């Protein structure tokens, strides 16, 4: 879908490379400019970083004039650039928006940070959990009795960062094709993860969120919760709507129990949740799947990625695949019902020689490959 889109990625960690991979999955030609010493990748022994899937890789030292000139020549025919440095670093390297727009006025300059390009915290170090803490996105995760917790990278780095950067880049590219003018995209994880709260804030008007942890439908009700099974595995319920809740009670043998008839009696939720917990602890996850899966009770087992890869639904849709010794996830979304074909993972610096040869030959267009 993105054939013909040319992107230069100044490789970093986390959301920037994920954004580049996502765009490469969808057909963009992405060149990852990686550090010669590999940084984090080298320490992890990762010669071919999985987030470089579908990209081409070259190594360069951006602290040298040769490395700087290589980037300037690459972006001359590029649609966008991705960088995830702290604010001001690219400017100190002579590769800030002003320098790059002087070479390519149509360039969309994508900046990925945690705190953003401005503000009191813009120069401070941080990670995913810090950013979503400040944005408000971490607050409602978990119960009142436990510290808030969330799956690493999902809400912040990917949801609030990489995907917002991707939307910003594509919006900028469309605008540049109309106006001939590039732009600078300031994608911060604080901004993106806060923006994702808009739906949650809306649910407050429906009575699902009250404002305090431990008093909301997702952290205190019995019908929208996670339960431990007899084998130590977990299952989830999400029977919000009355028809789904009624079916759940029927499946659990509680249809005639008056104690559970009033679904939205919040005073009884804590005790009802304890009773549900005791009930679900009597059978294994597999037994609950046999009873509740593929019904309208809004149910699913909690699976590890390895388990999810073999679940019949995910297997039928080809959500996971294994290649080059690594479990990977297929590109998303689908177009016309079809999955995009994921590219291979290049070795670090694998394409350095061919890209440099094209530049030295004076034809920077040859740096890019039609997809």
CATH of the domain at 267: 3.30.1540.10
If asked whether residues 130 and 278 sit together in one domain, one would say no
Let me know if residue 251 belongs to a domain: yes
If asked whether residues 252 and 150 sit together in one domain, one would say no
Is the model's pLDDT at 45 over the cut of 80? no
If asked whether residues 40 and 174 sit together in one domain, one would say yes
Task: Kindly report, residue by residue over 113-154, the tens digit of the pLDDT.
Answer: 999 999 999 999 999 988 999 999 998 888 888 888 888 899
- How many domains is the chain built from? 2
Alpha-carbon Rg of the chain, whole angstroms? 24
Let me know if residue 225 belongs to a domain: yes
Let me know if residue 37 belongs to a domain: yes
- The torsion angles phi and psi of 23, rounded to 5 degrees, stand at -70, -35
If asked whether residues 62 and 93 sit together in one domain, one would say yes
Please give the residue that has the higher pLDDT: either 121 or 368. 121
CA distances from residue 205 to 82, 141, 143, 267, 302 in whole angstroms, order as listed: 38, 19, 21, 20, 29
Is the model's pLDDT at 44 over the cut of 60? no
Give the residues across from 82 on adjacent strands: 9, 110
- 164 Cβ contact list (under 8 Å, min separation 6): 187, 191, 192, 195
Share of the chain above pLDDT 90, in %: 79
Let me know if residue 49 belongs to a domain: yes
Domain containing residue 154: CATH number:
3.40.50.10540
If asked whether residues 256 and 188 sit together in one domain, one would say no
Pairing of strands 6-10, 29-34: parallel
Q: Indicate the average pLDDT of the chain.
A: 92
If asked whether residues 29 and 149 sit together in one domain, one would say yes
If asked whether residues 25 and 154 sit together in one domain, one would say yes
Q: Which residues are catalytic?
A: 127, 157
Q: What is the rounded CA–CA span in Å between residue 216 and residue 227?
A: 17
If asked whether residues 81 and 184 sit together in one domain, one would say yes
- pLDDT range class, residue 41, cuts 50, 70, 90: very low
Let me know if residue 170 belongs to a domain: yes
- pLDDT range class, residue 205, cuts 50, 70, 90: confident
Task: Kindly report, residue by residue over 215-272, the tens digit of the pLDDT.
Answer: 888 989 999 999 999 999 999 999 999 999 999 999 999 999 999 999 999 999 999 9
Let me know if residue 148 belongs to a domain: yes
Let me know if residue 62 belongs to a domain: yes
Let me know if residue 209 belongs to a domain: no
If asked whether residues 77 and 156 sit together in one domain, one would say yes
pLDDT at 318: 95
Task: Kindly report, residue by residue over 54-111, the tens digit of the pLDDT.
Answer: 999 999 999 999 999 999 999 999 999 999 999 999 999 999 999 999 999 999 999 9
Residue 265, domain extent: 214-316
Is the model's pLDDT at 369 over the cut of 90? no
* Lowest model confidence (mean pLDDT) among 30-44, 152-166, 331-345: 30-44
Q: What is the rounded CA–CA span in Å between residue 51 and residue 57?
A: 11
pLDDT at 116: 94
Name the domain boundary from 316, 332, 355: 316
If asked whether residues 15 and 144 sit together in one domain, one would say yes
User: pTM for the full model?
Assistant: 0.92
Q: What share of the chain is helix, strand, coil (3-state, %, to 5)?
A: 40, 15, 45
If asked whether residues 228 and 94 sit together in one domain, one would say no
Among 109-123, 194-208, 355-369, name the most confident range: 109-123
If asked whether residues 45 and 97 sit together in one domain, one would say yes
- Exposure pattern of 242-275 as b/e (b: 16+ CB <10 Å)? eebbbbbbebbebeeeeebeebeeeebbeebbeb
């Amino acid at each position: 879908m993105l054939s013909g889109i040319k992107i230069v990625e100044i490789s970093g960690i986390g959301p920037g490379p994920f954004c580049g991979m996502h765009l490469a999955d969808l057909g963009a030609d992405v060149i990852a400019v990686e550090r010669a010493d590999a940084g984090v990748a080298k320490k992890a022994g990762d010669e071919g970083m999985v987030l470089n899937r579908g990209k081409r890789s070259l190594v360069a030292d951006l602290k040298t004039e040769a490395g700087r000139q290589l980037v300037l020549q690459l972006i001359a025919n590029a649609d966008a650039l991705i960088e995830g440095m702290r604010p001001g670093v690219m400017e100190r390297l002579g590769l800030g928006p002003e320098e790059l727009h002087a070479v390519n006025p149509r360039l969309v300059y994508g900046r990925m940070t945690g705190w953003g390009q401005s503000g009191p915290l813009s120069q401070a170090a941080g990670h995913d959990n810090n950013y979503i803490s400040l944005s408000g996105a971490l607050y409602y995760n978990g119960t009142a009795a436990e510290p808030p917790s969330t799956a690493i990278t999902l809400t912040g780095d990917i949801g609030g960062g990489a995907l917002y950067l991707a939307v910003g880049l594509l919006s900028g590219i469309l605008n540049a094709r109309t106006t001939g003018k590039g732009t600078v995209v300031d994608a911060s994880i604080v901004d993106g993860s806060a923006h994702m709260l808009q739906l949650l804030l809306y649910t407050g008007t429906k009575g699902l969120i009250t404002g305090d942890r431990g008093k909301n439908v997702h952290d205190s009700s019995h019908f929208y919760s996670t339960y431990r099974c007899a084998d130590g595995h977990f299952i989830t319920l999400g029977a919000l709507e009355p028809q789904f809740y009624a079916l759940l009670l029927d499946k659990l043998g509680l249809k005639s129990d008056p104690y559970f008839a009033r679904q939205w009696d919040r005073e009884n939720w804590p005790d009802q949740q304890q009773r549900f917990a005791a009930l679900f602890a009597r059978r294994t996850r597999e037994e609950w799947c046999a009873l509740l899966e593929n019904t309208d009770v809004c149910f699913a087992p909690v699976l590890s990625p390895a388990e999810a890869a073999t679940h019949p639904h995910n297997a039928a849709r080809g959500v996971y695949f294994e290649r080059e010794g690594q479990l990977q996830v297929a590109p998303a979304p689908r177009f016309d019902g079809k999955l995009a074909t994921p590219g291979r993972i290049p070795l670090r610096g694998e394409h350095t020689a061919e890209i440099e040869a094209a530049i030295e030959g004076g034809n920077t267009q040859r740096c890019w490959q039609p997809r």
